Amino acid sequence: MHRVGQFVAHLRARVAPEEAALVCRVLPEAAVALFESMPVADRRHGLDVAESLLRTGHDDRDLLSAALLHDAAKGHRMKLWHRVAGVLLETVSPSALRRLADPDVRSWRHAFHLYLHHEPMSAALAGQAGCAPRVAAFIEGDVVDADQQLLQALTMADDAS
């Protein structure tokens, strides 16, 4: 049922102009531009994850930045049907998903490569946009021991959104 809810949320995604205040408060200017370049559904999801973290008392700027940008690399090439197919294949045949993924950006199968590898790619984009290395570490899920609880909070907020 959770995945059905995600599907409907993706279709109905909107970002209100007043929500830009959080984005501008948390992200460096170049990263704001990166966030704004993301598809609306990914922006909505990032905001939902960040707002969930804030509601649970997590106001670490790097953590919130990671929440906003963790899907930045998915971009406009990954359509809804790629996402649905990726979730299904990941569940029933992860090896088929890996075989289908193509790193060649000219391939129609590149979106499956993005599905599988968007974390390090999103981390790199965040770094290029002026975010701290710690933001990239949160996005990649490779943090120092002191940040493990924050990473767990990010993962839980992401999974719930």
How much of the chain exceeds pLDDT 90, in percent?
80
Tokens read off for 140? 């990649």
Tokens read off for 149? 């609880």
What residue ranges do the domains of the chain occupy? Answer: 2-76+119-160
Question: Is a pLDDT exceeding 60 seen at residue 135?
Answer: yes
Where does the pLDDT of residue 8 fall: very low under 50, low under 70, confident under 90, or very high at 90 and above? Answer: low
pLDDT tens for 51-86 read 999 999 999 999 999 999 999 999 888 888 888 899
pLDDT tens for 61-70 read 999 999 999 9
Q: With beta carbons less than 8 A apart as the criterion, state whether 6 and 108 touch.
A: no
Question: Is a pLDDT exceeding 80 seen at residue 43?
Answer: yes
Q: Which of 47-51, 106-110, 121-125 has the lowest mean pLDDT?
A: 106-110
Where does the pLDDT of residue 160 fall: very low under 50, low under 70, confident under 90, or very high at 90 and above? Answer: very high
- pTM across the whole model: 0.87
What pLDDT was estimated at residue 11?
53
